[in-house]
Amino acid sequence: RMLRAVRLAAKLNFSIDETAAAPIPELAPLLSSASSARLFDEILKIFLAGSAEKSFLLLEQYGLLDVLFADTAKALKTNQSGALRVMLLQAMRNTDSRIKSEKSVAPGFLFACLLWPAYCRELAILQLSGCEMSVAQQRASDRVTLRQIEQIALPRRFSIAMHEIWQLQTRFNQRQRKRVFRMLAHPRFRAAFDFLELRAFGAPELEEELAFWRQAQLASPEQLVQMIPAKKNSGQDNTDSASLPPKRVRRRSKPKPTSPAE
């Protein structure tokens, strides 16, 4: 009933009566005893009803976010720059816009947005402990997901999509020709690019990356080759081959003639 009250208040633009709203923060922990599969259905109803932004703010206001998405709530509170919150609220606005335009929203993408702050926090903790980036990414994805499904069931087909969207984010700054073509051909590229656009709302330094990949999608293969300079051979990046000393030719020694006895 608490979630239903939030969903209806956000969808119908109503306010919850103070008498009814007062006990919600105290009763919020009771959600932990609810079925995780049912909570998954409730979350989709809440965020795919065309009022995701307002629903998120109400969940936060009444302490329900701390129970439903504990890692995300903690990450938002400790993110001093506020960039994660800016990105997440923009994701909610974009979700509302798509619903109003009668476009679909993939649950994997929705959960990638909702759990991104938690993933970033876990990734930072692992990196501080000296964990290698590729290993840290995988561990952060797994840990955040395992903790989340204890509260809200997340079908594997959606968690796989979520993990791929997250892990593709570090590949946007890799612009070697082969990597760019491989990235553009990835089945999750478009979702990952849309996610990069959301991140740029909270991190303006990503605008240059965003502009490159936006242009790369519109370019033909020939134009894309021109956009990306060829990788130079290692050790000869700034050296003119004509100035190099000639290689010494090694002559093969003639075999000694053998005697008839031999």
Instruction: Please say if the pLDDT value at position 255 is more than 80.
Output: no
Kindly report, residue by residue over 156-169, the tens digit of the pLDDT. 999 999 999 999 99
DSSP structure string for the chain? -HHHHHHHHHHHT----HHHHTTHHHHGGGGGGS-HHHHHHHHHHHHTSS-HHHHHHHHHHTT-HHHHTHHHHHHHHH-TT-HHHHHHHHHHHHHHHHHHTT----HHHHHHHHHHHHHHHHHHHHHHTT--HHHHHHHHHHHHHHHHHTTS---HHHHHHHHHHHHHGGGTT---HHHHHHHHTSTTHHHHHHHHHHHHHH-GGGHHHHHHHHHHHHS-HHHHHHHSPPPPPTT-TT--GGGSPPPPPPPPPPPPPPPTT-
Burial (CB count within 10 angstroms: exposed 0-12, middle 13-18, buried 19+), residue 62: buried
CA distance 102 to 222: 36
Q: CA 130 to CA 8: how far, in whole Å?
A: 46
- Rounded mean pLDDT of 245-250? 43
- Give the mean pLDDT of the chain: 88
Q: Compare 70 and 18 and report the one with higher pLDDT.
A: 70
Mean pLDDT along residues 46-60: 96
Asked which of 50-59, 84-93, 225-234 is least confident by mean pLDDT, the reply is 225-234
Both structure tokens of 85: 């919150």
pLDDT the model gives residue 256: 52
Band (238; pLDDT cuts 50, 70, 90): very low
More confident residue, 88 or 241: 88
pTM for the whole structure:
0.84
Mean pLDDT confidence for 166-189: 93
Identify which has the larger pLDDT, 74 or 13: 74
Average pLDDT over residues 235-250: 38
CA distance 207 to 201: 9
The reported pLDDT for the residue numbered 73 is 97
pLDDT at residue 150 in the model: 94
Mean pLDDT for the stretch of residues 136-141: 96
Please compute the mean of the pLDDT values over residues 47-55 and round it to a whole number. Answer: 96
Distance CA 106, CA 72 (A): 19
pLDDT in tens, 76-120: 999 999 999 999 999 999 999 999 999 999 999 999 999 999 999
Greatest CA span in the chain, whole angstroms? Answer: 117
